[in-house]
Amino acid sequence: MLTYIIRRCLYAIPIIIGVNLITFLLFFVVNSPDDMARKILGEKNITQEDVDKWKQDRGYNQPLLINTDESGLGTLTQTIFYQKSVSLLTFDFGRSDRNNLDIGREIRRRMKPSLAIAVPSLIIGLLVNITLSMIVAYYRATYIDFWGVVVCVFMMSISGLFYIIGGQWLFGKMLRLFPISGYDSGMNMFKFTFLPVVIGVISGIGSSVRFYRTIFLEEINKDYIRTARAKGLSEAKVLFKHGLKNAMIPILTNVVVIIPLLFMGSIVMENFFAVPGLGSFTIDAINAQDFAIVRSMVYLSSILFIIGLLLTDISYTIVDPRIRLE
């Protein structure tokens, strides 16, 4: 397994470099360093000297990818891409282009609100969705199964914005149980995170329950389930003990997609609830065309996604001893 992990980590290096390069090129196709400077400094009452000074202060006064010296040879080290990428590889995110904030410190500060919403939403959502899907699968071909699927399709058809706005109106405006915006640490954190967590769990029930129900229905028709029934085990024990264990691989695969969101935050949720997390941090940087922050967040999300894939492969060997990582 150690050899496999080392090999996967080595494979990740060109992927990370490629993601960083594509992000770099796409951003500068939309905006040149001069355009970035004018947008941040303001279109009015600025001179070319102001633009050049802004570029020099932030290292954007060099060529983008290739620097051709007097001899006609191309050098990579004296380029914007090289200098910005090397700092990212060492997790030195630098400072923002807009207001000179320490990006690393801001990420660490904003990670706590994002995790306070994302982690409970993931854990509670998994428990609720798996339990409901197993109940529906247990009562397959009955009215419970039929109406369960109907409700799931109905919930899938509703936009996530409806759950957010409806939850804010009902619990915030009408019942006045929870605030609809803001965030606080300590004991007050619960009243600010409860409503986003509940909405996050409810909005994901439709698609998740249908997905997990399909997995369980496939499992209960396999030979080992028939063998367990033939031994006299109850249907509940067959489904909840044997079926659940063997259905963990697709469940884990589905969970790995959510892992980067645990740290990166939910852009829509955090903006609607005015939570100072990484999701709102990213969308604000995109609106302000702050390339330093956008590049850092894309790089961080790619690292987290690769780590999630590696952890998923390792978890396969735990839930299924037949799998060997070689």
Termini Cα distance of the chain: 6
Q: Report which listed range, 90-94, 173-177, 252-256, is most confident.
A: 173-177
Among 117-126, 195-204, 282-291, the minimum mean pLDDT is found in 282-291
Task: Provide the pLDDT confidence category of residue 72 given band limits of 50, 70 and 90.
Answer: very low
Inform me whether the pLDDT recorded for 273 exceeds 80: yes
The pTM (predicted TM-score) of the whole model is 0.77
Inform me whether the pLDDT recorded for 1 exceeds 70: no
The answer to whether position 62 is within a domain reads no
Neighbours of 307 (CB within 10 A): 15
Q: Read off the tokens for 281.
A: 């941090």
CB 146 within 8 A of CB 229: no
In angstroms, rounded to a whole number, what is the distance separating the alpha carbons of residues 236 and 193?
35
Inform me whether the pLDDT recorded for 261 exceeds 70: no
DSSP, residue by residue, 233-268: --HHHIIIIIIHHHTHHHHHHHHHTTHHHHHH--HH
Write out the residue range of the structural domain in which residue 255 sits. 103-319
| % pLDDT > 90, the chain | 2
Write down the pLDDT at residue 78: 64
Q: Average per-residue pLDDT in the chain?
A: 79
The answer to whether position 9 is within a domain reads no
Label residue 288 exposed, middle or buried (CB < 10 Å: 0-12, 13-18, 19+). Answer: middle
Task: Give the distance, in angstroms, between the CA of residue 292 and the centroid of all CA atoms in the same chain.
Answer: 19
Task: Provide the pLDDT confidence category of residue 77 given band limits of 50, 70 and 90.
Answer: low
Write down the pLDDT at residue 319: 67
Compute the Cα dihedral for 178, 277, 271, 200 and give only its sign.
negative
The answer to whether position 206 is within a domain reads yes
Inform me whether the pLDDT recorded for 260 exceeds 70: no
Instruction: Write the DSSP symbol of residue 68.
Output: E
Compute the Cα dihedral for 125, 127, 130, 135 and give only its sign.
negative
The answer to whether position 56 is within a domain reads no
Residue 83 or residue 151, greater confidence = 151
Inform me whether the pLDDT recorded for 67 exceeds 70: no
Q: What pairs with residue 68 in β-bridges?
A: 74
The answer to whether position 302 is within a domain reads yes
Inform me whether the pLDDT recorded for 165 exceeds 80: yes
Inform me whether the pLDDT recorded for 174 exceeds 80: yes
- Residue 181's domain is classified under what CATH number? 1.10.3720.10
The answer to whether position 39 is within a domain reads no
Mean pLDDT on 73-82:
64
CB 264 within 8 A of CB 282: yes
Task: Provide the pLDDT confidence category of residue 147 given band limits of 50, 70 and 90.
Answer: very high
Write down the pLDDT at residue 324: 66
Write down the pLDDT at residue 322: 66
Task: Provide the pLDDT confidence category of residue 294 given band limits of 50, 70 and 90.
Answer: confident
Q: How many Cα atoms sit within 13 Å of 121 on the Cβ side?
A: 27
In angstroms, rounded to a whole number, what is the distance separating the alpha carbons of residues 204 and 121?
10
Label residue 30 exposed, middle or buried (CB < 10 Å: 0-12, 13-18, 19+). Answer: exposed
| % pLDDT > 70, the chain | 90
Query: Which residue bears the tokens 């039929």?
Result: 146
The answer to whether position 172 is within a domain reads yes
In angstroms, rounded to a whole number, what is the distance separating the alpha carbons of residues 246 and 260?
25
Neighbours of 33 (CB within 10 A): 21
CB 273 within 8 A of CB 191: no
Mean pLDDT on 80-86:
71
Nearest to 179 by CA among 277, 275, 284: 275
CB 294 within 8 A of CB 264: no
In angstroms, rounded to a whole number, what is the distance separating the alpha carbons of residues 291 and 97?
7
Each as own residue / partner, the long-range contacts of residues 8-17 (CB below 8 Å, 24 or more positions apart, any chain) are 8/309, 8/310, 8/313, 9/310, 12/306, 15/302, 15/306, 16/89, 16/299, 16/302, 16/303, 16/306, 17/85
The answer to whether position 57 is within a domain reads no
Residue 299 or residue 245, greater confidence = 299
Nearest to 306 by CA among 255, 256, 261, 249: 256
Query: What is the tally of structural domains in the chain?
Result: 1
Mean pLDDT on 160-169:
86
Residue 156 or residue 220, greater confidence = 156
